[in-house]
Amino acid sequence: MSIQIPPAALAPDTLDSEEEHGVGLWRGAFRRMRRNPTAIVGALIVLGFLLVAIFGPLLTSYQPGSAEWSGQVTPTSVPGPSENHWLGLDRFGSDMWTQLVYGARQSLVYGVVSTALGLTVGAALGAIAGGFGAIGGRFGTWVDTAIMRVVDIMLAIPSLLLAVSIAAVLGQNKYSIMIAVGVAQVPIFARLLRGSMLGQGQADYVLAAGALGLRKRRIVIGHVMPNSIGPTIVQATLNLATAIIEVAALSYLGLGEADPAVAEWGRMLVAAQDRFDVAPRLAILPGIAIAVTALGFTLFGEALREALDPRTRK
């Protein structure tokens, strides 16, 4: 005997505000991020890092790993900040600031390349698995399962250890760390893309497009994939933070390039250990550099994720 108050179906809702009407996903996201203090801090750090890394050679007139002033270093002292070296020397006699700056370049290159590698391979695998899985049928499911089994194998051991193993086997050259960290990131992107594709396969708009007669392939490329871009970029940013740390960890363990002239934050930490009581800055500076850079990317990535999340939008 339920008598409900009838909805007045015909009156249109008034638009909340002009800005919500018709604004794209990205513009709305950036507007939200501008107001978010953590996003701004993250963006500034990332920007600072990029500037230092890209314009490195302009910021310092010295060469990395030159060990020019090794004469000034004694077993009990390492020259601190002075007129010519505003952060002092490192224990091999190179200029500390130069080492840090070139270390930033190294981190940027290694970080970006490995993340790009993980992203490309992982997203491709995930998209294929998800796309075929969404289409279904015996062949589709088989492809999906097969690819995900391979991903499972990669996830059988923790990612850092996976990277360590790969780098150890690849030997001491400059590509080993990049490939190793890149491969370790493949499963994350693969799962992300696959999940995204499968999830959207059931989405109403996809079913609607199918009902309209669009061919499955067109649906996937034209509709499903653009929707996956946002989360992928967020994940890439967050992974870049992890990649920078992992790269440092691997070089700390002695993997990767053997050439001591190449400046790298992780290796600087190794060298700094036995002079800690005379010159703690040798360890503190590179350590903080790693932490702050990773922090910047993490803050930015998380702010981006929040900004793109449809649930937090009004």
Partner 1 sequence: MLRFVLRRLALLVPVLVGLSILLFAWVRALPGDPARSLLGERATPEGIARVNESYGFDQPLVQQYITYVTALLHGDFGSSIQTGQPVMDSFGERFPATLELGFVALMIAVVVGVPLGYLAARHQGRVLDTAVVSGSLLGVVTPVFFLAILLKLVFADKLGWLPTALRQDPRVDATHVTYFYVLDGLLTREWDASWDAIIHLVLPALALATIPLAIIVRITRASVAEVMNEDFVRTAEAKGLSRSTISRRHVLRNALLPVVTTIGLQAGLLFSGAVLTETVFAFNGIGQYLFEAIGQRDYPVLQGFIIFIAIVYSLINLTVDLAYGVIDPRVRTQ
Partner 2 sequence: MPEMTVQAEPTLGVGRRTDVLLSVRDLAVSFGLRGQKSVTAVDEVSFDIRPGQHVGLVGESGSGKSVTALAIMGLLPKRGVEVGGTVEYAGRDLRSLREQDMAELRGSDIAMVFQDPMSSLNPVVTIGIQLEEVIRRHEKVDKREARDRAEVLLRRVGIPDPGRRLGEYPHQLSGGMRQRVLIAIALACGPKLLIADEPTTALDVTIQAQVLEVLKELVAETDAALLMITHDLGVVAGLCDEVNVMYAGRIVESTTRARLFAAPRHPYTGGLLESIPRLDKPRGTPLRPIPGSPTQTIPWTEGCAFAPRCRNKIDQCTETSPALEKLADRKLRCFNPLPAEADRNGVDE
List interacting residues with partner 2 (CB under 8 A). 1-9, 11, 13-14
Whole-number minimum distance, CB 213 to partner 1, in Å? 40
Choose the contact partner of 58 out of partner 1, partner 2, none; CB within 5 to 8 A by kind: none
Q: Which is nearer to partner 1, 207 or 291 (CB)?
A: 291
Q: Which is nearer to partner 1, 221 or 291 (CB)?
A: 291
Whole-number minimum distance, CB 39 to partner 2, in Å? 17
Choose the contact partner of 212 out of partner 1, partner 2, none; CB within 5 to 8 A by kind: none
Choose the contact partner of 259 out of partner 2, partner 1, none; CB within 5 to 8 A by kind: none
Half-sphere exposure of 40 (CA within 13 A, CB side): 6
Choose the contact partner of 158 out of partner 1, partner 2, none; CB within 5 to 8 A by kind: partner 1
Choose the contact partner of 156 out of partner 1, partner 2, none; CB within 5 to 8 A by kind: partner 1
CA separation, residue 99 to residues 102, 173, 178 (Å): 5, 20, 20
Whole-number minimum distance, CB 214 to partner 1, in Å? 37
């030997």: which residue's tokens? 171
Q: Which is nearer to partner 1, 194 or 267 (CB)?
A: 267
Choose the contact partner of 2 out of partner 1, partner 2, none; CB within 5 to 8 A by kind: partner 2
Cα(197)–Cα(130) distance, integer angstroms: 5
C-alpha angle with apex 193: 153 to 129, nearest 5 degrees? 60
Whole-number minimum distance, CB 36 to partner 2, in Å? 14
Whole-number minimum distance, CB 14 to partner 2, in Å? 7
- Positions touching partner 1 (CB under 8 A) are 149-150, 152-153, 156-161, 164-165, 168-169, 171-172, 241, 245, 248-249, 252-255, 269, 272-273, 276-277, 280, 283-284, 287, 290-292, 294-295, 298-299
Whole-number minimum distance, CB 15 to partner 2, in Å? 11
Q: Which is nearer to partner 1, 143 or 229 (CB)?
A: 143
Q: Which is nearer to partner 2, 217 or 313 (CB)?
A: 313
Q: Which is nearer to partner 2, 14 or 74 (CB)?
A: 14
C-alpha angle with apex 247: 100 to 179, nearest 5 degrees? 130
